[in-house]
């Protein structure tokens, strides 16, 4: 098993969001739809085929830790921050941040080289968005 997947920028971004969606051990169609709807609005995904199944296979093959390290190396800092924000949004989409999701969010902060102040602000904003 290879520990470092070769990723495109789009695969790296998508995989980060998908990893958080599946952090609780199941990846639902609603979660996948949320991710796909979000990325469809992004410039980096215009005119790109999104291979959700292929990214899912890479996540399973290499594991979340190796995948996020490879993803971090592929993404610029602003895009890593956007990927982190999407991951938090997906994690909180059901209104509850489970233990597995919180553990993965805490792992993503250093893996994606997110400043603590930015990570805290993102989580706070997403908590506010998920109220009510």
Q: What pLDDT sits at residue 3?
A: 64
Q: What pLDDT sits at residue 114?
A: 95
Residues 6+ away with beta carbon under 8 Å from 60 = none
Residue 1 clears pLDDT 60, i.e. is over it: no
Residues 6+ away with beta carbon under 8 Å from 104 = 19, 20, 23, 64, 87, 91
- Residue 64 has phi, psi (to 5 degrees) of -65, -40
- Residue-averaged pLDDT of the chain: 86
Q: What pLDDT sits at residue 9?
A: 92
Q: Write down the residue that tokens 């610029």 correspond to.
A: 76
Residue 132 clears pLDDT 70, i.e. is over it: no
Residue 79 clears pLDDT 90, i.e. is over it: yes
Give pLDDT tens digits for 23-47.
877 777 777 888 888 888 889 888 8
Cα distances (Å, whole numbers) of residue 124 to 24, 44, 92, 117:
21, 26, 11, 11
Given pLDDT bands bounded at 50, 70 and 90, which one contains residue 63?
Answer: confident
Given pLDDT bands bounded at 50, 70 and 90, which one contains residue 85?
Answer: very high
Residue 2 clears pLDDT 60, i.e. is over it: no
Q: What pLDDT sits at residue 16?
A: 92
DSSP state of 18: H
Integer Cα distance of 12 and 15 in angstroms: 5
């Amino acid at each position: 098993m290879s520990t470092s997947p070769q990723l495109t920028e789009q695969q790296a971004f998508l995989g980060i969001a998908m990893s958080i969606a599946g952090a609780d051990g199941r990846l639902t169609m609603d979660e996948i739809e949320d991710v796909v709807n979000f990325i469809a609005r992004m410039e980096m995904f215009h005119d790109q085929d999104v291979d959700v199944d292929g990214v899912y296979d890479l996540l399973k093959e290499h594991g979340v830790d190796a995948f996020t390290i490879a993803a971090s190396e592929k993404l610029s800092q602003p895009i890593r921050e956007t990927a982190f924000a999407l991951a938090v949004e997906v994690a909180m989409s059901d209104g509850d941040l489970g233990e597995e999701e919180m553990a993965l969010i805490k792992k993503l902060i250093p893996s994606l080289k997110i400043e603590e102040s930015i990570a805290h602000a993102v989580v706070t904003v997403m908590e506010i968005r998920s109220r009510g």
